[in-house]
Structures are given as structure tokens and as C-alpha cells.
Structure 1
């Protein structure tokens, strides 16, 4: 016989918590909620409007700065690194000049500098307007939930825009 099996071992730790029969019963009857769930608390109009208003304020501030500081003057903004290294116009080239013209109300020049950027400005304006209206009325926040096919279409459009604006036939699209 082994000496360790005959000697008494350490005592088992005391069990913590309720007895197993009570643990399976659930909460006491006093803690069980009776009746319908409470209505969700609606945020105040000021709180709902904070995010879209701050987003709009940021965009207005950015356009005000670009409208005041001319990107056509050298030294204010960095040159596109892709254009500097390769001479190829990326889809964003001319975007600051386009924003400058757009901020000053010259839509024809803005479209000539970067038509894709102007389309982006208009989509952003429409989305922000929808967001503001829904926030004011207490409706759901608009979501941008595009499927993969849409993202591929947008990418293909940007690639086609880049290729065409770098060809002699697409010089109208170059800034």
C-alpha cells in the first residue's frame, strides 16, 4: 500500500455560490420583468443633428480653405507623387484645382480640372442633405451599403477615367 493513499490529503475547498438546485431555477420572481419592454429612448434633435452638422462644417471649412488658397499657385500644396514620378495623371489629379473652382462657383472649370471629383462632390452633398433631413425628422441614419458589383463598377470607372485622360484623345479630361 502506498503511503500517500493512507494519509489524509488536503481538505477540498468549500463550494461557492448557491446550491446546484437553486442555480438552475433562474432569477428570483421579484427580478423577472412583467409587461412589455420599455420604449427605446430617442435622442434629442440636437444630438441627432450633431454628426451630420459637424461633417458638413468640416467639408465647408475644407472647401473654404481650398477656395481661399489657390492650388494653381506653386508652393501651397504638394504635387501628386504619381504624376511627379511617372508623368501619369491619376484619378485624383486636378482634384484640388477642381475644388478651388467649385468653391468659387466656376462649375465649367471644375469639371475641366477633374470631372470625377465634381461627381464625388455632388454625391457627398446629396448624401449629407439626406442625412441632415433624416436626423432632423428622427429617421434612420442613411447607410452606404454597396455590394461588390458596385465597388467593381466604381473601380472600373476610375480606371477608365485614368486611362482616357492620359491618352491624346482624352486631353479634355486632363487638368
Structure 2
């Protein structure tokens, strides 16, 4: 088993376990889920803050409320899960994806890092409309 496959299988297992857990327990009120350590220590929202609640609302068929908990996570999830499944099954990505990654792979990684950084800064600004990016909005 390759390291990449092990990481993908582990990530899928954690995602599935989290989805099952949020189907059973309510984040924030059950005491089952720990708070975000970044938010607990700094008071700032990290890029992942709100992801547990996002999964909770997706598990309970409330996509708009899920989106409001973590907009970036909501947008990335439909791309991340299939990529993890393909990697876990050791299947190659579609040809179009391979071509794009061969030409723009490094730039896409840099662009994603920039998007995540800007998102993190904006969601911590206390003024509208940026505070809408924080978990639950303003």
C-alpha cells in the first residue's frame, strides 16, 4: 500500500466517521465534539472552523445552512471526496484532470493556498459582508 493510498483511506475513514457521528450527535451541544483548537486558543476562525457543523447540516439535508457554516469547505467537498476515492482505489484521475495538473499543477497548489489564506483573513474581519464567512455568519 502506498503512502498516498493510506492517507486517502484514512481521510475517507475520518470523513465517513465524522459524517456518522454528526448524524447521531449535535455539534456544540452534545459535548462529544471538541472545539477547534485554533479558535479556542486565539479566538480566530481557521479555514476548517464550522466544518463539523457543515457536515451535520449536510447529514440532515440542510445544504444552505451547511454552506453558511463553512462556505469554502462546502465548495471544496464535492471535489475532495471523489479525488480521495480515486486515490484510495489507486485509480488514475480522468484524462482532463491529468492534463490540467501536468500543465498547471504547481500554479493550482499556489492558487489554492492563496484562496485559503485570503478566506481565512476575510472570515475573521468583523464587518459585513466578510463576517458572513464566519461559521453561522454575522
Q: TM-score, normalised by structure 2?
A: 0.69
Structure 2 CA distance for partners of 1:77 and 1:107, relative to 1, 3 Å: same
Can you give the 5+ residue segments of structure 1 that lack an aligned partner in the other structure? 1-50
Greater CA radius of gyration, 1 or 2?
A: 1
Q: Distance in 2 between matches of 1:118 and 1:93?
A: 12
Deviations 1:13-45 (A, max 9, x none): xxxxxxxxxxxxxxxxxxxxxxxxxxxxxxxxx
Deviation, 1:104, is 1.3
Structure-2 residue corresponding to 1:141: 92
1:123 aligns with 2:79: yes
Aligned residues of 2:39 and 2:46 also touching (Cα < 8 A): yes
Q: Distance in 2 between matches of 1:57 and 1:151?
A: 21
1:171 aligns with 2:127: no
Structure-1 residue corresponding to 2:117: 159
Q: Distance in 1 between matches of 2:23 and 2:30?
A: 15
Indicate which of 96, 102, 106 corresponds to 2:62. 106
Structure-2 residue corresponding to 1:86: 42
Q: TM-score, normalised by structure 1?
A: 0.56
Deviations 1:86-140 (A, max 9, x none): 11111011110011111111100110000111122211344367x39xx7xxxx5
Q: Which has the higher helix share?
A: 2
Q: Distance in 1 between matches of 2:106 and 2:84?
A: 23
RMSD (Å), alpha carbons:
3.0
Q: Distance in 1 between matches of 2:59 and 2:45?
A: 23
Q: Distance in 2 between matches of 1:154 and 1:78?
A: 27
108-117 or 57-66: which moved more? 57-66
Q: Which has the higher contact order (CA 8 A, sep 6+)?
A: 2
State the secondary structure of the residue aligned to 1:111.
helix
Q: Distance in 2 between matches of 1:57 and 1:78?
A: 20
59-68 or 162-171: which moved more? 59-68
Aligned length: 117
